[in-house]
């Protein structure tokens, strides 16, 4: 969604209120240890996209718990925000932390062939073998 100073402020307010609701006002054990990573509110304040992060194994259970509690969360959010319109909530699982972990794991396990010097086209440069001769 388009960002300007006003929309960033609205997003921040909605994120604070929604985070408080998820942390203190819901008692669903499936929603424990979830993190609200970001919130995007449409310019007319009718739609609110919330991005939630959790462990990879819990994606399905957390999504189901959020769907079950969506009405209650929206009601509490509407009272808390005091806007003319209560935004329709849509929850998304934020997988960026898992993707970053996968990339970090791959970077730790670099194959030894990457250390071989290559030309500009990616082919290995000539290297001397054990006999003192050249091979390509």
Q: Is the pLDDT of residue 135 over 70?
A: no
User: For residue 2, what pLDDT is reported?
Assistant: 60
Per-residue tokens: 29 = 């054990």
% residues pLDDT > 70 (the chain): 91
CB 77 within 8 A of CB 21: yes
Instruction: Find how far residue 129's CA is from the centre of its chain.
Output: 49
User: For residue 116, what pLDDT is reported?
Assistant: 82
β-pairing verdict for 88-93 and 47-53 = parallel
Per-residue tokens: 108 = 């730790």
Question: pLDDT tens digits for 76-134?
Answer: 999 999 899 999 999 999 988 888 888 888 888 877 777 788 888 888 887 655 454 44
Ramachandran angles phi, psi of 53, nearest 5°? -115, 140
Domain ranges of the chain: 5-98
Superfamily in which the 5-98 domain is placed by CATH: K homology (KH) domain (3.30.300.20)
User: For residue 129, what pLDDT is reported?
Assistant: 54
48 against 116, higher pLDDT:
48
User: For residue 133, what pLDDT is reported?
Assistant: 47
User: For residue 20, what pLDDT is reported?
Assistant: 95
CB 43 within 8 A of CB 57: no
């Amino acid at each position: 969604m388009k960002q300007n100073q006003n929309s960033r402020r609205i997003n921040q307010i909605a994120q604070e209120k929604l985070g408080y609701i998820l942390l203190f006002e819901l008692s669903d054990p499936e929603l424990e240890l979830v993190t609200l990573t970001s919130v995007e509110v449409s310019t007319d304040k009718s739609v609110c996209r919330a991005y939630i992060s959790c462990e990879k194994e819990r994606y399905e259970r957390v999504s189901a718990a959020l769907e079950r509690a969506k009405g209650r969360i929206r009601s509490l959010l509407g009272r808390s925000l005091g806007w003319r319109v209560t935004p329709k909530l849509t929850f998304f699982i934020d997988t960026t932390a898992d993707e970053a972990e996968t990339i970090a794991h791959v970077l730790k396990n670099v194959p030894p062939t990457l250390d071989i010097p290559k030309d500009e086209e990616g082919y290995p440069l000539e290297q001397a073998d054990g006999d003192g001769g050249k091979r390509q």
